[in-house]
Amino acid sequence: MLDFISDNKKSLITLGLVTVIAYVFYFLDEIRTTSVLVFGWGYAVPLVLAAMVGIIGERSGVVNIGIEGQMLMSAFAGFFGSVFTGSIYLGMIIGILTGVLMGAFLAVAAVKWEMDQIIAGVVINIVAAGLTSFFYAQGKTLPELMPVVSIPLLSDIPLIGPVFFRNGLFALSTLFIVVAVNYALFKTRWGLRSRSVGEYPSAADAAGINVTRVRMMNVTLAGALAGCAGAFLALEAAGTFARGLTAGRGFLALAIMIFGAWNPMGALAAALFFGLSTAIASQLQADEVINIPQQFVNLLPFVMTLIVLSIAVGRVRPPAAAGQPYTKEG
Amino acid sequence: MKRMRTLAGISILALVLAACSSGTTDTAAETTAAALDDSNCAAAESFCVGLVTDIGKVDDKSFNQSAWEGAQAAAAEVGGFAKYIETTDTKDYAANMKQFTDKSYDVIVTVGFLMAEASVAAAKENPNTKFIGVDQFQAEEVANLTGLIFPEDQAGYAAGYLAGLLTKTNKLGQVLGLEIAPVQKFAKGFEAGATAANAAVKVTTVYHPPADNGFGDPVWGAAEAKKQLSQGADIIFGAGGGTGNGALIEIAKAEGAGTSIFCIGVDTDQWGTVPEAQPCLVTSAMKGLVEGTSDLVKAAFDGSIKGGNFNGTTGLADYHDLAAAVSADIQAKVAEIVAGLKDGSIMTGVTL
């Protein structure tokens, strides 16, 4: 516990600060604050999940710019899976499995065949956009709604409860997924191996770790999280599928991964920041409190990102071997 | 070697899919309405209609789809041939139009406000081709370019008037696409109509953040609609392609949808185009896109088309199954307003 606190000091301070500010607003205007935060967290969920995919990949040395395509395929498969099976739960499973399949595709192309990782990712994005547009059929409706689950006790906490603990299944799991990835990456043998493979693969190899196998496994399993993100968009957030549903969120997630310094908790804070800025931008428009053009208000998150990224330059560094295929010497 | 062959196979697959995909390249499809093809459009006896969509798909259940239906219907009626190209990038407007002018198409329909400048340029370059710009206001008259424009503010006004009478909370919401003239006219018309019906009403107006996907982001639309609902809005106007549709679908899921919570669609009668929204969809603020496009294409065929602007019609869609939720008094009052807007006795007072 103490380790966890000292390891994530910055993220925790940010999180604490945001919480305090949120409660101040909560006491000023309960309904507005809650609904803005619900919007913000809803916006952040797919970004966090997708950023986890990027983090797991790059921490083990594989750059994944195909997250957008992986999400899009999963959203498509999740939606039409539910439509054809008549069950939203089967749709969720189909969506996640599609994510795994897309992860496996990247793993085989980029790790096994040592294809250029960027090109492999681009191929995924193009294939996904192509397949999902081509096979898209109109007028299909989800057989049932994503159930909204309230976690007992936790969901009764003012503000935090309705925002984080009264949600659909994906949004509900996201916080736990982030904590689990964070723990696994820094506190387990798997995490140590993965990180060593991403930092110094030849040393890891010399220590007896099968670099190719670790990378294959990580990229494939991370695909499941891309599957969650995609299925969340189609089944939980929009309740429908449209072409290009992901709308660049997979790329935004890469920015969030960097913003969060390749750290799950950092990425969570970064995504929350993005979600909150977007929500506030829309609320300012709705309330017309300040009479400035909405285009300017909407620039807010991006300007802030630019500022934060320029401050963070030099202090954050990507995993050393990210993007480099590993070939065993000799 | 085997690995290379598999890789090559995957790349070819990707390329083929990319070529088929409308998400990455421009696709073209032909209507089966006419048996002709476009190999001899230059000939006097053949009549070819080409349609270039705005960013978005020809089956977007809204704007592009209606214009395409109109073009198809008109072409079929006069025994012509119609074909469309879907635009995926604003930079491709000119190139897509050129595909048609190169083949000497008789009429080119360009869909959407964002294509206005490109259409003017293309019309000036090809003085012998008739251009129809759907939703493109012509500030200067070009002889071979007709802008099909709609008094969106009137459709918005009528929808707003209905909403103003229906609301119980006196809070209305709008989930909109990009902040461009046609959408603004809808939005301001809605505000004006709502206030005219009910002075106590407050309208929340939120446009999608400026981005390429402003009209194709149902996830954002749904989240924004949810936010407005929880802040007390009971009738929400969703105007903005896929973004607005996302809002409608979200509202349809809300508790009380169809009894105390309603949504209003846009452009076409969305009862048919977005069936998921039926639980809350009380009406749609319609533009007569199909008729307008079809009328102009036919006018181009018989030569009666003129440059400048052509005013299409607007109106409200049927109440469908939710007619019971709208009292006879309100229905009569709204019908009166629609008629008044049409004959000019009611002005919306909307200026941009």
Q: Do B210 and A123 touch (CB under 8 A)?
A: no
Question: Testing the interface with B: which of A123, A145, A249 to mutate, by most B Cβ within 10 A?
Answer: A123
Convert the pLDDT of each residue in B275-326 to its tens digit.
Answer: 889 999 999 999 889 989 999 999 999 888 888 899 888 889 999 999 999 9
A161 alpha-carbon distance from chain centroid: 21
**Model pLDDT, residue B32:** 43
Are B27-150+290-311 and B152-287+319-343 equal in CATH topology?
Answer: yes
As a whole number, mean pLDDT of residues B215-225 equals 93
User: What is the spatial distance between Cα B259 and Cα A231, in angstroms, rounded to a whole number?
Assistant: 30
Set of chain A residues whose Cβ sits within 8 Å of the Cβ of B231? 31-32, 35, 286
- Domain B152-287+319-343 sits in CATH at 3.40.50.2300
Domain total of chain A: 1
- A24 Cβ neighbours under 8 A, 6+ residues apart: none
- DSSP string of B250-276, one letter each residue: HHHHSTTBTTTBEEEEEES-HHHH-GG
| Domain membership flag for residue A319 | no
Q: What is the pLDDT of residue A323?
A: 87
Q: Which DSSP state fits B216?
A: S
Asked whether residue A324 is domain-assigned, the answer is no
Task: Answer whether residue A328 is part of any domain.
Answer: no
Please report, for the domain that includes residue A68, its CATH number: 1.10.3470
Strand partners, A166: A150
Is residue A67 within 8 A of residue A50, CB to CB? The reply is yes
Domain ranges of chain B: 27-150+290-311, 152-287+319-343
Taking the C-alpha atoms of residue A10 and residue B72, their distance in angstroms, rounded to an integer, is: 60
CB contact, 8 Å: A102 with chain B?
Answer: no
| Interface contact A294-B24, CB threshold 8 A | no
CA distance A86 to chain B (A): 15
> Is A318 contained in some domain?
no
Give me the total of CB pairs closer than 8 Å, taking one residue from chain A and one from chain B: 138
Question: Cβ B14–A32 below 8 Å, yes or no?
Answer: no
pLDDT band at B8 (very low <50, low <70, confident <90, very high): low
Of B3, B223, B230, the CB nearest to A43: B223
- Structural domain containing residue A137: 2-312
Instruction: Answer whether A225's CB lies under 8 Å from A170's CB.
Output: no
Amino acid at B87: T
Phi then psi for residue B109, to 5 deg, are -100, 125
Query: Dmax of chain B from CA atoms?
Result: 78
The two tokens of residue A226 are: 């891309």
Measure Cα distances from A69 to A74, A75, A78, A177, A236 in Å: 8, 10, 14, 21, 19
Chain B closest CA to A77's CA: distance in Å?
17
CA B55 to chain centre: 11
The pLDDT of residue B24: 37
Residues comprising chain A, all counted: 330
| Terminal Cα-to-Cα distance of chain B (whole angstroms) | 64
pLDDT band at B352 (very low <50, low <70, confident <90, very high): confident
Do A126 and B224 lie within an 8 Å CB cutoff? no
**Residue A66 corresponds to which tokens in the numbers above?**
């195909």
On whether residue A206 sits in a domain, the answer given is: yes
Which residue is closest to A281 within chain B, CA to CA?
B209
From the list A32, A247, A298, the residue facing B219 with the nearest CB is A247
ipTM for the assembly: 0.88
Point out the residues of chain A with pLDDT beneath 50. none
Give the angle A35-A40-A43 at the CA atoms, nearest 5°: 125
Q: Is the torsion defined by CA of A254, A257, A258, A260 positive or negative?
A: positive
- Render pLDDT for A260-315 as a digit per residue (tens, 0 to 9): 889 998 899 889 888 988 888 888 888 876 666 767 767 776 787 778 778 766 77
CATH superfamily of B27-150+290-311: Response regulator (3.40.50.2300)
